[in-house]
Amino acid sequence: MREKIVAGNWKMNTSIQEGKHLAEDILSGLDRVPEGVTLIVAPPFTHLFPIACLIGARKNPGLAAQNCADRNNGAFTGEVSSSMLASVPCQYVILGHSERRQYYGETNQILLDKIKLALDGGLRPIFCVGEVLSKRESNLHFQIVSSQLREVLCQLDPDEFRKVIVAYEPVWAIGTGKTATSGQAQEMHAFIRAFLAESFGELAESTPILYGGSCKPSNAAEIFAQRDVDGGLIGGASLKADDFLAIAGSFARP
Ligand code: PGA
């Protein structure tokens, strides 16, 4: 059985105090998370250590950073390395989010460097792929996603690849209130799994592939019920503990 994961990407939101409250609210509602579902929170860098202290020895939720440097420790002012994140301790790092690609010029080559360093540092990457609206409208979405996979994930060796979590996030659905239909999500998730199987064989069967883009309590159950959807990467709705927990609760209990 594949892992089921619901990850909250807080983006550049909340003060440390607000973030700690949000984390406390999530911790006090963990009984709403079905058995076997891994919850992950990805607060801003500044919040990671205080939230790690709140989480303590619990397995759930895991802690993710939203980015890491493409270099090792050293003279790189303003950057945060994967080994620093691992020392918080964080277990995961989101890489390749469309906002990083679009606003900070992160290319597939930079992302490959980051993924390698993340894995070396002991972190599991949550690697995001997805197409902008114009590419979907011109029927180029499979081509875009396959090049993102080919140039980054397919360059890993199988032992590295087995730690990766993929997130399909159609850029036109992020923060827009416009969700992919469950059919569109399933179609792309199945495509991603088949594409990865060409390089990694049956390992791709156990790769968690999360959906992201305006996922909320009212649509999560239908999307998560799709065969190749293994959970969600949640932006806006992860800033409300109640909504985030309701989304995690959308997995049918076994
Ligand atoms: P959203 O963001 O849920 O607010 O659309 C998802 C994401 O960017 O990860």
Q: Indicate the DSSP class of residue 166.
A: E
Q: Which amino acid is at 48?
A: L
pLDDT over threshold 70, residue 254: no
Report pTM: 0.97
Domains of the chain in sequence order: 4-248 (3.20.20.70)
User: Given the CA of residue 99, which atom of ligand 1 is nearest to it?
Assistant: 8
Q: How far is the CA of 128 from the centre of ligand 1 (A)?
A: 11
- Is 106 labeled as catalytic in the residue annotation? no
Contact 89, 127 (CB under 8 A): no
Which residues are within 8 A (CB) of 12 and not within 5 positions of it... i.e. 6 or more apart? Answer: 44
14 pLDDT band (50/70/90 cuts)? Answer: very high
176 pLDDT band (50/70/90 cuts)? Answer: confident
The Cα 168–Cα 128 span in angstroms is 6
Residues with CB under 6 A from ligand 1: 9, 169, 174-175, 212-215, 233-237
Which residue do the tokens 């199987």 mark? Answer: 197
Nearest CA to ligand 1 atom 6: 235
Q: Which amino acid is at 221?
A: A
Q: What is the pLDDT of residue 253?
A: 57
**Catalytic site residue from 99, 106, 131, 169:** 169
Contact 72, 98 (CB under 8 A): no
The predicted model gives 12-26 an average pLDDT of 98
Q: What is the pLDDT of residue 1?
A: 82
The predicted model gives 18-33 an average pLDDT of 97
User: Given the CA of residue 213, which atom of ligand 1 is nearest to it?
Assistant: 5
Q: Which of 221, 243, 235 is nearest to 128 (CA)?
A: 235
Q: Which of 214, 210, 126 is nearest to 168 (CA)?
A: 210
Q: How far is the CA of 205 from the centre of ligand 1 (A)?
A: 25
**pLDDT tens per residue across span 138-174:** 999 999 999 999 999 999 999 999 999 999 999 999 8
The predicted model gives 72-89 an average pLDDT of 97
220 pLDDT band (50/70/90 cuts)? Answer: very high
Q: Best of 233, 238, 239, 240 to mutate for ligand 1, by most ligand atoms within 8 A of CB?
A: 233
